[in-house]
């Protein structure tokens, strides 16, 4: 990957549990949104539609989050997204979250590329691979 890709997100009051800590499902949502933002940055606006137009979809196969420090209301989380690995039929993204320079979470999502017609795995295209790695022009 040629560029560092970071998404910033403020923890909203409504994203917290009664103790004021970021609610786990909301953290998962932040990670998924950061992944979608990464796809849009690499593939252009409408990235999801572009994949569907190519007859492919990227459902999640595995998703894990490790919380390193609690996040609270009004914290600004910086989530860095990296391509960890591109396999024959899957893409693995890694996420690293920080607040004020402190590590707060790490996560990983494995997305399998499937045919929208058969819902069976299909190879990651060379174009998709190049775009995700940030070297679509070369």
pLDDT score recorded for residue 138: 44
Q: How far, in Å, CA of 118 to CA of 98, rounded?
A: 39
The answer regarding whether domain 5-132 maps to CATH 3.40.50.1820 reads no
The percent of residues in the chain predicted with pLDDT above 70, rounded, is: 96
Q: Are 67 and 61 in contact (CB under 8 A)?
A: no
* Domain ranges across the chain: 5-132
- CA–centroid distance for 94 within its chain: 7
Q: Please state, in angstroms and rounded to a whole number, the distance separating the CA atoms of residues 131 and 134.
A: 5
CA 76 → CA 2, 7, 10, 21, 97, distances in Å? 25, 10, 4, 13, 10
In the predicted structure, residue 135 carries a pLDDT above the cut 90: no
Given CA atoms 134, 1, 59, 56 in this order, what sign does their dihedral have? positive
> Cβ of 137: how many Cβ atoms within 10 Å?
6
What's the predicted TM-score (pTM) here?
A: 0.91
Burial class of residue 89 (count of CB atoms within 10 Å of its CB; 0-12, 13-18, 19+): middle
Each residue's pLDDT tens digit, 89-108: 999 999 999 999 999 999 99
DSSP, collapsed to helix, strand or coil, labels residue 80 as strand
């Amino acid at each position: 990957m040629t560029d560092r890709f970071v998404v910033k997100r403020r923890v909203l009051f409504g994203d917290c549990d009664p103790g004021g800590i970021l609610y786990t499902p909301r953290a998962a949502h932040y990670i998924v949104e950061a992944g979608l933002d990464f796809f849009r940055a690499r593939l252009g606006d409408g990235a999801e539609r572009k994949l569907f137009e190519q007859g492919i979809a990227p459902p999640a196969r595995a998703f894990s989050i490790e919380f390193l420090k609690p996040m609270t209301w009004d914290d600004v989380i910086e989530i860095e997204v990296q391509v960890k690995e591109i396999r024959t039929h899957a893409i693995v993204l890694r996420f690293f979250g920080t607040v004020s320079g402190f590590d707060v979470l790490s996560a990983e999502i494995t997305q399998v590329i499937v045919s929208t017609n058969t819902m069976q795995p299909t190879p990651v295209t060379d174009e998709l691979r190049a775009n995700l790695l940030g070297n679509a022009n070369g």
